[in-house]
């Protein structure tokens, strides 16, 4: 069992609680040193020496007013106030050897004894069985008879260590997903050959259009008037009245045309016999 003395030089002069200076662990820290030993020997994560536990009690405002200006007194259930899920405290006034023996024999209960005599007005020790005690003033085992025996004990404080729930098992790690095979690279198709360039056709010159000749309209010769039957003498034109030279030319031309007409008519008429 881990033992501590309130007068250890490493923290004896540390102020107990808060208030005017002078109230130190070395002078008045017997109760707080008992709590330090109970906590240390109860849980592996509560290894707080008196100096460390004093700081925790200050941060939780566990100390109460002592009537002289200091906050350096502890209530009987101080451990349970700070760690309610870990400790249970029961107070029994007076001294009962049978209850103390039963508690000391158990694996989970400690008993603090409050001693008060004329020579020692107030002091706390831990019962160790029979007449034995653990005295924080010295930090070692002693006897109750050194303080006047059982008659010096006015109160028993039973501090029971509560069972802690079993830690939850850590969840099993999720199975690693099967590795996804890397996709095989798809071969890139070879580029299609470029088509041969198509020659640009050379434009064929369009021949100029051949001018279409204007249609020739045949000029039909004037059809002479029908010739009189042969044998009949052509009537002689009535001589025109006297005219000028131009009129004479026209008359002569008309006479020639008439003669030509007769000749043609004669040639066309079949000859008899």
| Residues 6+ positions from 237 with CB-CB distance below 8 Å | 254, 255, 258
Q: What confidence score (pLDDT) does residue 241 get? A: 57
DSSP 8-class letter at 18: B
Question: pTM score, two decimals?
Answer: 0.63
Predicted confidence (pLDDT) at residue 226 exceeds the cutoff of 80:
no
Q: What confidence score (pLDDT) does residue 177 get? A: 84
List the single range of 42-56, 87-101, 199-213, 214-228 with lowest mean pLDDT: 214-228
Query: Average pLDDT, stretch 255-265?
Result: 83
Query: Average pLDDT, stretch 128-148?
Result: 96
Confidence of residue 180 (pLDDT cuts 50, 70, 90): confident
Four-residue CA torsion sign, 160, 161, 165, 166: negative
Query: Average pLDDT, stretch 124-130?
Result: 96
What pLDDT digit, counting tens, does each position of 25-66 carry? 999 999 999 999 999 999 999 999 999 999 999 999 999 999
Report the alpha-carbon distance of residue 136 to residue 33 in Å, rounded. Answer: 6
Predicted confidence (pLDDT) at residue 214 exceeds the cutoff of 70:
no
List the single range of 38-52, 125-139, 144-158, 226-240 with lowest mean pLDDT: 226-240
The secondary structure of 97-132 as a DSSP string is HHHHHHHHHSSSEEEEEEE--SS-SSEEEEEEETTE
To 10 degrees, what angle do helices 30-40 and 50-59 make? 100
**In terms of residues, how long is the chain?**
273
Burial 82-105 (b: 16+ CB within 10 A, else e): bbeebbbbeeeeebeeebbeebbe
Sequence spans of domains, the chain = 25-161, 227-273
What pLDDT digit, counting tens, does each position of 74-107 carry? 999 999 999 999 999 999 999 999 999 999 999 9
| CATH 3.90.70.30 for the 25-161 domain, yes or no | yes
Task: Determine what percent of the chain is predicted with pLDDT higher than 90.
Answer: 59
- Which two three-digit tokens encode residue 198? 């198509």
What pLDDT digit, counting tens, does each position of 6-32 carry? 999 999 999 999 999 999 999 999 999
List the single range of 1-5, 119-123, 216-220 with lowest mean pLDDT: 216-220
Of residues 59, 65, 55, 68, the one with CA closest to residue 16: 55
**Contact between 227 and 262 (Cβ < 8 Å):** yes
For 152, other C-beta atoms within 10 Å of its C-beta total: 21
Tell me if residue 76 falls in helix, strand or coil.
Answer: coil
């Amino acid at each position: 069992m881990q033992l501590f003395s309130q007068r250890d030089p490493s923290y004896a002069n540390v102020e107990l609680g808060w208030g005017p200076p002078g109230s130190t662990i070395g002078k008045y820290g017997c109760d707080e040193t008992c709590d330090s030993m109970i906590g240390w020997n109860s849980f592996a994560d509560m290894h707080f020496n008196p100096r460390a536990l004093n700081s925790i009690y200050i941060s939780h405002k566990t100390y109460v007013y002592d009537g002289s200006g200091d906050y350096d007194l502890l209530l009987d259930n101080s451990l349970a106030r700070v760690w309610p899920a870990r400790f249970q405290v029961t107070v029994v006034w007076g001294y009962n050897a049978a209850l103390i023996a039963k508690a000391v024999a158990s694996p989970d209960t400690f008993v603090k004894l409050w001693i008060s005599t004329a020579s020692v007005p107030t002091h706390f020790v831990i019962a160790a069985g029979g007449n034995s005690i653990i005295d924080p003033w010295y930090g070692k085992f002693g006897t109750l008879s050194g303080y006047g025996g059982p008659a010096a004990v006015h109160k028993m404080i039973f501090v029971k260590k509560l069972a802690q729930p079993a830690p939850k098992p850590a969840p099993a790690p999720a199975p690693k997903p099967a590795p996804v095979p890397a996709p095989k690279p798809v071969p890139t198709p070879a580029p299609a050959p470029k088509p041969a360039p198509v020659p640009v056709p050379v434009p064929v010159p369009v021949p100029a259009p051949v001018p279409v000749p204007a249609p020739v309209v045949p000029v039909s010769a004037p059809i002479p008037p029908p010739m009189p039957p042969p044998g009949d003498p052509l009537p002689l034109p009535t001589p025109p009245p006297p005219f000028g030279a131009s009129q004479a030319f026209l008359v002569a031309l008309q006479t020639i045309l008439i003669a030509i007409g007769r000749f043609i008519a004669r040639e066309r008429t079949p000859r008899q016999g």
